[in-house]
C-alpha cells in the first residue's frame, strides 16, 4: 500500500495537534497540579542546584511548555524539533533522578514522534 500525500498530510496534522496541545495542557497544569504534583519529577540533584523553589521552577517549565506548544501549532517543523529536545531533556532528568524510568522511556518515545512531526513538516515536499 502506497502512502498518499493526503495520508501524510493527515498524519502530520494529527501529530501537529497532539504535540501542540499536549504541551500547552501540561504547561498549564504546572500551575494547578491537577494531573500530578510536578515537583516530584525534579531530580534531587537538580532541585538542590536551583536558586529558587521547586514550585517556581515548575512554573518556569510550564511557561516554556506553553510556548513550545504554540510554536508547534504555528511552525510545526521548528516546534517539532523544540519539543523533541525538551522531551529528551525531561527523560534525562528522570534518568538522573533514579525514578520514573517508565515515564522517561515514554518521553523518549514521544520525542521520536515529535521528530517525526518535524520531518513530515518540510514545506513543498511531494510524496
What HEC string does 28-49 produce?
Answer: HHCCCCCCCCHHHHCCHHHHHH
Domain range annotation of the chain: 5-120
CA gap 53, 90 in Å, rounded: 18
Calculate mean pLDDT across residues 61-76. 97
Alpha helices of 30-126 — where are they, by DSSP H? 44-49, 54-74, 76-97, 101-120
Distance of alpha carbon 70 from alpha carbon 96, whole angstroms: 29
Are 43 and 93 in contact by the 8 Å Cβ rule? The answer is yes
DSSP state, 52?
S
Grid cell locating 98 = 533514579
For 77-126, write each residue's pLDDT tens digit. 999 999 999 999 999 999 998 989 999 999 999 999 999 999 999 876 55
**Average pLDDT of every residue of the chain:** 93
Residue burial 73-82, b: 16+ Cβ < 10 Å; e: rest: eeebbebbbb
Amino acid at each position: 500500500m502506497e502512502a498518499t500525500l493526503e495520508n501524510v498530510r493527515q498524519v502530520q496534522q494529527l501529530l501537529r495537534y497532539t504535540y501542540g496541545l499536549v504541551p500547552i495542557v501540561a504547561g498549564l497544569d504546572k500551575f494547578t497540579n491537577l494531573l500530578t504534583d510536578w515537583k516530584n519529577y525534579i531530580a534531587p540533584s537538580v532541585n538542590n542546584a536551583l536558586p529558587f523553589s521547586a514550585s517556581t521552577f515548575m512554573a518556569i517549565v510550564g511557561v516554556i511548555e506553553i510556548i513550545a506548544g504554540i510554536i508547534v501549532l504555528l511552525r510545526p517543523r521548528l516546534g517539532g524539533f523544540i519539543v523533541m529536545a525538551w522531551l529528551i531533556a525531561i527523560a534525562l532528568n528522570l534518568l538522573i533522578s533514579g525514578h520514573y524510568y517508565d515515564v522517561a522511556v515514554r518521553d523518549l518515545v514521544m520525542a521520536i514522534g515529535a521528530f517525526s512531526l518535524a520531518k513530515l513538516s518540510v514545506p513543498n515536499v511531494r510524496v
